[in-house]
Structure 1
């Protein structure tokens, strides 16, 4: 239903600009194919939205619909995330936005690569499992490690930390972090949520 509302708002915005020929690219197969008449729905709310849109179509000279898979609709995701990040009023001057295309996903840049092949929690893991310290570790660094390991649990080679709610938080390396973030952004968990909601989902 939320997607139908977005379509209605877009159609009204187009009419407000006196647009007569409209090409619609949608990433919701449900909405697109229902509007094309290829799929039917018995949901009364969706039927009402569809009927409203059909009435709006009459104001245009031509309207065409094309289904665009979500995994290829990266621009919409980017703009949706950007729109959720700030508020603008009619009186505010919004500066032009410069967009660049990178070869890898942007969130990969915030991950620290493990150039030595060891995860970032290697020293903690080694102390809990073998009670050993890093080479050339000072006495202050050793005390810091001993203090940090309180509440840590090693189970089957996997390191956990117990949080205040007694939930076990699993430690992951950069490779696993990339997989998780990629799945949330464009995999089976794909979503159009804002940045804060996505961060919570990843956590």
Structure 2
């Protein structure tokens, strides 16, 4: 029940922030597979919890549930470590932990041309893993776990790396130089049209 309660609290917090697209990662196979409809919910205590979650799901335009084993969940490990470091007296007020939310995924901040190291594109480590199952020499145990999880969504066609979206559309990975060239062609030359932002993005 605790796993369902945590899931409900997280989804409610997301609804309050008016977020409409959500990916839920949980380390309870029971909860995740029941919510995905792959496992039956037989325990009478859990049926009401599942119904409540399915009602909350209607608030989203798109929501998906993913099972993530506990040993691969870095965020949970980090929060558990942080919690173990804090000593709280019952008489004291517990101050909330402040978290920053970025509009763009963190790895996108590393795509700048000046930040690409040694002529390697931002996706170099993913490419090497998908191609040869190799890690960089500096990769820690956590880095290797993260890389394995990221690589699931990437496929290699010859020498070209693609990221597979949820709708199975393949997105070609490009480095900073290629990205600039593509943007230039979109705004000039063949595609030189005054289209709206949404059309250009597509």
| TM-score, structure 2 as length reference | 0.43
Q: Which has the higher contact order (CA 8 A, sep 6+)?
A: 1
Q: Which has the higher helix share?
A: 2
- From the CA coordinates, give the structure whose radius of gyration is larger: 1
TM-score (norm 1): 0.43
